Amino acid sequence: MDLAYIPSPSRGVVYLGPIPLRGYAFCIIIGVFVAVWLGSRRWVARGGVKTTVADIAVWAVPFGLLGGRLYHVITDYELYFGKGKDWVGAFKVWDGGLGIWGAVALGALGAWIGCRRRGIPLPAYADAVAPGIAIAQGIGRWGNWFNQELYGGPTKLPWALEIDPAHRPAATPDIGLYHPTFLYESLWDILVVALLVLWADKRFKLGHGRAFALYVAAYCVGRGWIEHMRVDYAHHILGLRLNDWTAIIVFLAAVTYIVVSARLRPGRETVVEPAAEQTDAEPQSDAGAVAGGERPAPDAAAEAAAPHDEAVADDPANAPGAEAAKPAAEKTAEAAKPAAAEKTAEASDTEPSKKA
């Protein structure tokens, strides 16, 4: 008798009238919202505009879903095409089947389009959203729990996952408990990958796409050993599952990028969004400047007039029109001189008679 195990949900969908509400879809939606929220906070901290991450996600998320589905259908084509198969199932995303490799690759293409439209460097954007993507993957993995898929081999561990008979492997129909590989990957993505990227980015000031490359490399390490535990059907090459080979190749590419990028472009970008820099550079209004204890910049005409006004106050002769008034004043003074002389002479003639 098994004393402890993780039960699986009896069904992965509930209906609100005619509308199906699927657990798999809800996990993906919640993950996207968390990734955008955390990415926005990190983008603003780097000097970007708050709404930029969400605006670019409008491009990245649909491309990512399309890429994830394409990778799954291409690598597991025999599930949908061939004798006795229904090719329409290739479009039923809600039944599960999103390859993370295709989701990241095509999602990056969508992000590149969004970044290009806003004049933003893609590596800087990728660095900002990297830990959020890891957390989104960890949340999205719970969709596999709702669908009872992508589990490991049989186990008696107390955290074993109970799988209903309809979802068990054909080779072990009588065994009900299996490794919860969805849970292993969820914990790896959130507690290892996301936290590692957050710590390393803060400690080493990663830039130019190196935080994103670290996320990719760390994810590949976990995906490698977790993929090896799974028992669902997969193509094998030289004894390894296809996704193991993919993880190895992508890991090496990510590490190479970190090393080469650190040599060619050390440090971190100083400007991640030119629009944010232009907004910060706009001058304050006069009212805001006065309220902040700063006087508005004086007008150029006022500055030019100020010395002139001071000169007029010190010497009225410097006033406008003073030079033009000087000749008239001189003529008036000349005309007054004979009259003044005559009055003086008359006064001199009158004084002796008075004395006499």
How many CA atoms are closer than 13 Å to the CA of 300, on its beta-carbon side? 0
List Cβ<8 Å contacts ≥24 apart for 159-167: 159/4, 159/5, 159/6, 159/183, 160/2, 160/4, 160/5, 160/6, 161/5, 161/6, 161/8, 162/5, 162/6, 162/7, 162/8, 163/8, 164/8, 164/10, 167/8
For residue 21, list its beta bridge partners. Answer: 14
Element (H, E) at 153: none
Whole-number Å distance between alpha carbons of 70 and 13? 24
Angle at 309 between CA 306 and CA 312, to 5 degrees: 155
For the record, the structure tokens of 197 come out as 């990227």
Which H or E run includes 108?
helix 100-118
State yes or no: 141 annotated in a binding site.
Answer: yes
Is 14 within 8 Å of 151 (Cβ atoms)?
no
The Cα–Cα gap between 142 and 102 comes to 19
Residue ranges with strand state E in the chain: 13-16, 19-22, 161-162, 177-178, 236-237, 240-241
Annotated binding-site ranges: 141
